Structure 1
Amino acid sequence: MLRVRLVLGYMGWCVRLGARPWRYFQLNAPWFNEERGLFSKRDMDALIPDRWRLPQQPLADRAMPENWPQFLKPEWGQNARGIHLVRNPEEYGALRKKLLADSPVPYLAQAAAPGRREFEVFWIRDPGDTRRAAILSVTETLNQSDQDWPVNSIRNADTRHQTLSLSPDQEQKLWRWMGELPPFRIARAGLRADSMEAMLDGDFHIMEINLFVPMPLTLLDEDLPRKQRHAFIGRAMKALAALTRALPKDQPPKRVFWPMFFLNYRIAP
């Protein structure tokens, strides 16, 4: 229902502002790999500054990873679909063989990120000044199980989310770091750090960047009052519609929706 509310809110603001809603899928089109028909995690990884990047390699590579544990993940996916944890070379070898034989999409091996806490940073850029964020929210992802390396997602019953309140100064510090990434128009970045203070100081690692219909996870915070949730949807969808209207007319269009739509159903849960 949250996605329905987001879509309806976005469509409503597009009508009010005179934006063309089908152009939503062109917002991050400059980073869409047309040849492969996906938003490639390998492409995203290459855009992350070295100090925040995790060791990562194609699963097809014969070299054995140097660090453990490793997360094996499809080169594109959402909501942690198809992600597996392996803790040693034996587990890695057995699962690697199976995935290379059966998976319809290429897989990557990514070292587990250091840091005790997991954060999701969501933003929509300001259409009037793309150096700024019109919407910036931070949600901590928590896990209630006793697993040391859980795969958190909306599909994991032990996963819950907690919205963090940042002061204007803290938002400015965080946006300074996100501003070192390419100018994605709407995105959600998954980070790991030892604390919120460490994250604000730039001491974190980026696990993943989601550019295709990223869900603002603050809406999954069960403690967030309904009135506050609705207010966030209104602000965010208004900003998104305005950003859609402001898309440069000379930006080359790309076919994004249908390749991503069909790819999503090729990935195992």
Structure 2
Amino acid sequence: MIIRILLILSYVVSCIRLCVKPWYYFRLNAPYFNESKGLFSKLDIDRLIPNQWRVEQWVDDGTREPTEFPVFVKPEWGQNSRGISRADNLMQIQQLRLQRKASNMRYLVQEAARGAIEFEIFTIANHQDLAKHAVLSVTQVNNTSSDKFPINGIYNKTTQYHDITPKLSREQLEKISQHASAIGKFKISRLGVRANSIAALVAGDFEVIEINLFVPMPLVLLCQQRRTIDNIRFVFNAMYALANVTKQIHKNQPHKAIFFRKLGLMRQHTIKENEVGNESH
């Protein structure tokens, strides 16, 4: 919570310094927001991913069953691993469908990625060239459980983060930056990918499992090996870069009510989670 507050305050201060309206933050990735659905649709964003990096996923409407397990069932709008469940067999898929029978939220089934190691790539675009990045960090995600296919996330106590950015050369970071740009010209993003090694990640041999465009948390700030002073510097530099990108947003860019639409969806999902929890007791 402290980190999030620091990020917000730093961004607001940077916007004030640059004479930028802080609420324009919600316009940063607006071109990718599906206004008819009121969300950053995982299906829409999935279509941006080049075929060699894409993990197959589909709407879980009961007309198609997985041929291999495990699979992951996730809400179309979700982020930070909220609402994701894993199904190891057909019976578990059917149970998940029954639990959300009364829900009007659309869920997706995603096949498991093949890579052995999970990485999170956080980016902020360069305000002078949106195809490049002013901020890029790479975090390796570890899990202390014996689970081969864990659902990692900031709310999972067995998930640990390790900053590997300092280990990467300038050339390697440039390669990863190019990979991220090939997916989309996002002004701020966090990409979750799986690869068998750091070398494979750099070489482009990976699969994308998640793209967060709403309020992506730079997971590098949760790495225990980093010093507090390094995190503070990262926050200030990253948020100043983000404010610079925000300044480039054209005044005539179509306005979309992203904040309130997303807030409403999150509230609906929280209510549904509570209802499911009460039914299971």
Which residue matches 2:250? 248
In 1, the alpha carbon distance for the partners of 2:175 and 2:218 equals: 20
In 2, the alpha carbon distance for the partners of 1:133 and 1:21 equals: 20
Query: Cα deviations across residues 97-140 of structure 1 (Å, max 9, x unaligned)?
Result: 322x0334210000011111000001000011112100000011
AA aligned to 2:152 is: N
Counting only pairs closer than 5 Å after superposition, residues 1-269 of structure 1 correspond to structure 2 as 1-99=2-100, 101-164=101-164, 165=166, 166-268=168-270
For the residue of structure 1 that corresponds to 2:91, the secondary structure is: helix
Give the superposition deviation at 1:265.
2.0
- The answer to whether the Cα contact below 8 Å between 2:20 and 2:246 also exists between their aligned partners in 1 is yes
Query: Cα deviations across residues 246-265 of structure 1 (Å, max 9, x unaligned)?
Result: 11223211111100112112
Query: Cα deviations across residues 146-202 of structure 1 (Å, max 9, x unaligned)?
Result: 111111111111111001122111111111111211211110000000001001000
TM-score (norm 1): 0.97
Give the superposition deviation at 1:239.
0.3
AA aligned to 1:48 is: I
- Which structure 1 segments of 5+ residues have no match? none
AA aligned to 2:220 is: T
Aligned-residue sequence identity (percent) comes to: 42
- The answer to whether the Cα contact below 8 Å between 2:58 and 2:110 also exists between their aligned partners in 1 is yes
AA aligned to 2:25 is: Y
**More displaced stretch, 184-193 vs 55-64:** 55-64
AA aligned to 1:64 is: E
- The answer to whether the Cα contact below 8 Å between 1:81 and 1:267 also exists between their aligned partners in 2 is no
- The answer to whether the Cα contact below 8 Å between 1:77 and 1:267 also exists between their aligned partners in 2 is no
AA aligned to 2:225 is: D
AA aligned to 2:256 is: K
- Which structure 2 segments of 5+ residues have no match? 274-281
For the residue of structure 2 that corresponds to 1:223, the secondary structure is: coil
For the residue of structure 1 that corresponds to 2:208, the secondary structure is: strand
In 2, the alpha carbon distance for the partners of 1:262 and 1:194 equals: 38
- Which is bigger in relative contact order (C-alpha 8 A, separation at least 6)? 1
- The answer to whether the Cα contact below 8 Å between 1:104 and 1:267 also exists between their aligned partners in 2 is no
In 1, the alpha carbon distance for the partners of 2:245 and 2:187 equals: 8
In 2, the alpha carbon distance for the partners of 1:113 and 1:102 equals: 30
In 1, the alpha carbon distance for the partners of 2:13 and 2:105 equals: 36
Give the superposition deviation at 1:78.
1.9
In 2, the alpha carbon distance for the partners of 1:104 and 1:239 equals: 39
